Amino acid sequence: MTHSENQSFSIKVLSTGDVFEVPANRTMLHVLYENGYEVPLDCSNGRCGTCKTRYVSGEIDHRDTALTEAEKSEYLTVCVSRALSGQVVLDLATPKSAQPVARPVAIVEAPVCVACLNCVRFCTFGAARIDDSLIGVGGIKGAAHIDKDLCTGCGLCAAACPTGAIEMNINTHDQVIDTIHTLNINTLEQPGATATSTDPLAKVMLFACSQCRATAHQVSEQQNLSPERLANTQVVDVPCSGRIDTLQLMHAFESGADGVMVAGCQPGDCYFNTGNLHAAQRVNRIADWLSDCGLRRDQVKMVNLSPGDSQNLAHGLKELALKVSEIDPGPAQGQRTADQPGTAHA
Ligand code: SF4
Ligand code: SF4
């Protein structure tokens, strides 16, 4: 259904009595965020159910694929669902303030755009286009424009832009890099309780998308605490595996990781349609670069997970740890200090 086929309707918030109009070309999510109501969200396109909100009256046109039939009698997803009746009443808490809340969207710096169309090709939500009225790099006519109402904030375009013209307003490229270095994988406690006690523990950085995040933290915490562990693992949260660019992966090595893993959904299950496919391509590219600069291509690995598949992730991490524990640190990796067990790699 297109915007032109949508009907406008109103939402009323039970706790405050606030009433807002939802125009045909906008969603309840947009309107709520603009008025200070911060509903938890992840995919923004009806696949995850994170934004499910209780409603107390109204006839709902449920457009998500996340809620069960039983849930639909009580909840709706504010990101895609609409009201068939004139008004829907939502059971939401009073917001801290009426100030607009920022939700993740892509932003273009037109003067840096070369109109390469990468963002248009990567965006499966039709949010990116070239606008002829904008002036791009060197004064050329035409630069990318993002329709913020269609943008889900997945970050695929930002990872694909060759000039850095696209940036996310939340979880920016620099913030991801800062997170990688702030985790400071070199200072992890390594008591040396490994399977073979004289071996140092490998250091693994695990990037996890929103669907794999809970499993990633659970497995890494379990493994880090186990006396049988082979690696210490740190997790970097990203909205989608397709948000991870090659520079971010190289920064993981530069920060001292012996191995890097990207956890994404199974093919066909990505909340953002193709993010996991692009992530797999980047992992392969990094593997080629690693071998070009004297490291080993099997120091980087992609694992595709079904929700809650801790067994597959634990197995993948173990395999990676075993491989990287045989590897000498190369030029892209951070220096280890003499009193760290990992020095034995050198
Ligand atoms: S962040 Fe995702 S949805 Fe938004 S413009 Fe970029 S690719 Fe499209
Ligand atoms: S990917 Fe970057 S350079 Fe290419 S059109 Fe989009 S914003 Fe411009």
What pLDDT score was predicted for residue 192? Answer: 43
Domains of the chain, with CATH numbers? 3-90 (3.10.20.30), 106-168 (3.30.70.20), 173-345 (3.40.50.920)
> What share of the chain has pLDDT > 90, as a percent?
78
Cα separation, 339 vs 334, in Å, equals 15
Question: 158 C-alpha to center of ligand 1: Å?
Answer: 8
Token representation of residue 189: 């406690």
- Between 290 and 19, residue with greater pLDDT: 19
pLDDT interval class at 336 (50, 70, 90): very low
- Between 202 and 311, residue with greater pLDDT: 311
Pocket-testing residue among 117, 131, 141, ligand 2, by greatest number of atoms within 8 A of Cβ: 117
Pocket-testing residue among 107, 108, 112, 114, ligand 2, by greatest number of atoms within 8 A of Cβ: 114
Residue 50 per-residue DSSP state: T
What pLDDT score was predicted for residue 337? Answer: 33
Residue nearest to atom 4 of ligand 2 (CA): 116
**What's the pLDDT tens digit per position in 62-75?**
999 999 999 999 99
Residue 314 pLDDT exceeds 70: yes
**What's the pLDDT tens digit per position in 112-133?**
999 999 999 999 999 999 999 9
Residue 342 pLDDT exceeds 50: no
Mean of the pLDDT values across residues 51-72? 97
Q: Tell me if 143 sits within 8 A of 112, measured CB to CB.
A: no
Q: How many angstroms separate the Cα of 128 from the Cα of each of 25, 148, 162? A: 16, 9, 15
Residue nearest to atom 8 of ligand 2 (CA): 113
Predicted TM-score (pTM) of this structure: 0.86
Residue nearest to atom 4 of ligand 1 (CA): 151
Mean pLDDT of the chain: 89
